[in-house]
Amino acid sequence: MRASPDDHLTIGEIIRRTGVPASALHFYERKGLIFSERGSGNQRIFSRHMIRRISLIIVAKRLNIPLSHVAEVFTTLPTDRAPTHKDWQRVSRIWKRQLEERRRAIETLEQELTGCIGCGCLSLKACLLLNPDDALEGRGPGPVRLQEPNVALPDGPSTRQAT
Amino acid sequence: MRASPDDHLTIGEIIRRTGVPASALHFYERKGLIFSERGSGNQRIFSRHMIRRISLIIVAKRLNIPLSHVAEVFTTLPTDRAPTHKDWQRVSRIWKRQLEERRRAIETLEQELTGCIGCGCLSLKACLLLNPDDALEGRGPGPVRLQEPNVALPDGPSTRQAT
DNA sequence: ATTTGACCTCAACCACAGTTGAGCTGATGG
DNA sequence: CCATCAGCTCAACTGTGGTTGAGGTCAAAT
């Protein structure tokens, strides 16, 4: 185990401390989420405070926040030192709002679905579930074109990753 | 506009009635979610009740239900006629439960995040957000391997796992 | 001297849910 | 007679979040 000065960590040490595999760290670096200097043999040398960024990424993953958004908020973070407590509060409040939005979207869907269970019509003209934006006002009679809008609601964790 | 008997629809008619583009319909067919016979010129000919299946797919998309799961529940649906109201109720109740699960997962995250905003430690040893399964009981001191639900040794050889 | 361990790069691949385009057939209309 | 439309197939591509493997380098240990 090669010893590094306390604020210069090899990728191996980062892996041991964070549990994030090298492939993912490489990937994050390519995406600009983290960065490193290089040592004599071209090895990555990470600043100690990079661990904080990686922690943020881990949290974002748990919250199902896409890395593109993480990259966005990372542009508002200091690059030369660890994010402060204030930084963390700012970011986490943004993420909390996103969770709230997602929860509300799900609640809305739950209500619609509950209403539709009894009905069961799945009418292409009238069903709320099939016509999210109730955009069928003022379109003449006849079949209605569906799913135009670009409502993208990020979903919760459950349905994937059957490890 | 070629007229079809009332219960045999061309893909163009399906598109007009459902709004689902041909590429998606082809895709669903490849996945076994829908099926068709073929006409003289190899065109798809859909049964009228196939529209119901497509409606189900549209609903599942809104609910962020993966197609693989839709395929699963479709195996329990009749192939020779439209799903009955009872079928719809059964399926939609399953989906409702999935929404509930997702909502609860988000609520849990919201609570953890709220707790962590004030704290802001993001400690690799103690933070709830970083250690979802609070699996750090009974470990010795020192850095803790993260995001591995059941396999974790603080100082063992590096364990590799695919998520 | 050689073998191991740690690290590097780059390319290819996974699932998901399709889209896009090329190149084809077959029926219809002017 | 030819254009155009509706449809077909198949291959390649999109974006997200990485993983896997091949092949190379460097330093330490045997």
pTM for the complete prediction? 0.82
What is the rounded CA–CA span in Å between residue A121 and residue B56? 11
Average pLDDT over residues A136-146: 45
Strand D footprint nucleotides (protein C-beta < 7 Å): 6-10, 16-20, 25-28
Q: Does B99 touch chain A (CB under 8 A)?
A: yes
- Among A50, A57, A55, residue whose Cα is nearest residue A73: A57
Residues of chain B with pLDDT under 70: 1-5, 133-163
> Cβ contacts (< 8 Å) between A114 and chain B: which residues?
96
Tokens standing for residue A125: 């003209």
pLDDT reported for residue A136: 47
Q: Domain coordinates of chain B in residue numbers?
A: 8-121
Identify the weakest region by mean pLDDT among A43-47, A65-69, B18-22, B137-141. Answer: B137-141
pLDDT bin (cut points 50, 70, 90) of residue A28 is very high
Question: Cα distance from A41 to chain B (closest Cα, Å)?
Answer: 23
B26 CB and strand C closer than 7 A: yes
**Binary contact (A163, B158; C-beta < 8 A):** no
> Cβ contacts (< 8 Å) between B52 and chain A: which residues?
122
CB-count burial class (<10 Å; 0-12, 13-18, 19+) for B95: buried
Q: Report the residue of A15, A101, A127, A147 to disrupt the B interface, i.e. the one with the largest count of B CBs within 10 Å.
A: A147
CB B25 within 8 A of CB B11: yes
Ramachandran assignment for B113, one of left (phi > 0), alpha (psi -120 to 50 degrees), beta (any other): alpha
Distance B25 CA to D11 C1' (A): 18
A44 CB and strand C closer than 7 A: yes
Q: Is the pLDDT of residue A135 over 80?
A: no
A26 CB and strand C closer than 7 A: yes
pLDDT bin (cut points 50, 70, 90) of residue A121 is confident
pLDDT reported for residue A159: 36
Residues 68-97 of B with CB under 8 A from A: 69, 85, 88-89, 92-93, 95-96
What is the rounded CA–CA span in Å between residue A131 and residue A136? 8
Residue A161 vs residue B31, higher pLDDT? B31
Nearest to B19 among A116, A129, A145 (CB): A145
- Tell me yes or no: is domain B8-121 CATH 1.10.1660.10: yes
B21 CB and strand C closer than 7 A: yes
pLDDT reported for residue B142: 44
CB-count burial class (<10 Å; 0-12, 13-18, 19+) for A143: middle
pLDDT reported for residue A134: 61
Q: Does B24 touch chain A (CB under 8 A)?
A: no
| Residue whose entry in the numeric block shows the structure tokens 């619609």 | A112
Question: Cα distance from B112 to chain A (closest Cα, Å)?
Answer: 10
Tokens standing for residue A145: 């074109």
Q: Which nucleotide is nearest to B27 (CA to C1')?
A: C18
Residue A1 vs residue A72, higher pLDDT? A72
